[in-house]
Amino acid sequence: MTAKQATAEVFLTAFRALPKQEQNAFLFTIIKDHSFRGDVIDLAIAVKRSAEKCKKLRTFAKHLTGAKKN
């Protein structure tokens, strides 16, 4: 485990130890910050889509070209 991973584990452990109301307050503070909000959204999308099958660039480009014609 790297030092960064260990630090993340410490923060996560501390977060999980908080009462639910304090966890919500912390998360709300993160979401209010524009740059953090974008990062959280990007990470959530990446995690959700990580199980999807990859598409080849040519296939995707053809899809985009076809969509523009309609």
pLDDT band at 57 (very low <50, low <70, confident <90, very high): confident
The predicted structure's pLDDT at residue 8: 95
Q: Residue 66: is its pLDDT beyond 80?
A: no
Tokens of 48: 């959700």
Q: What are the structural domain ranges in the chain?
A: 3-69
Taking residue 70's Cβ as centre, other Cβ atoms within 10 Å add up to 4
| CB distance 3 to 9 below 8 Å | no
**Identity (one letter) of the amino acid at 8?**
A
Q: Residue 13: is its pLDDT beyond 60?
A: yes
d(CA 49, CA 69): 27
Q: What is the pTM of this model?
A: 0.58
- For residue 50, the 8-state DSSP code is T
pLDDT band at 67 (very low <50, low <70, confident <90, very high): low
The predicted structure's pLDDT at residue 2: 94
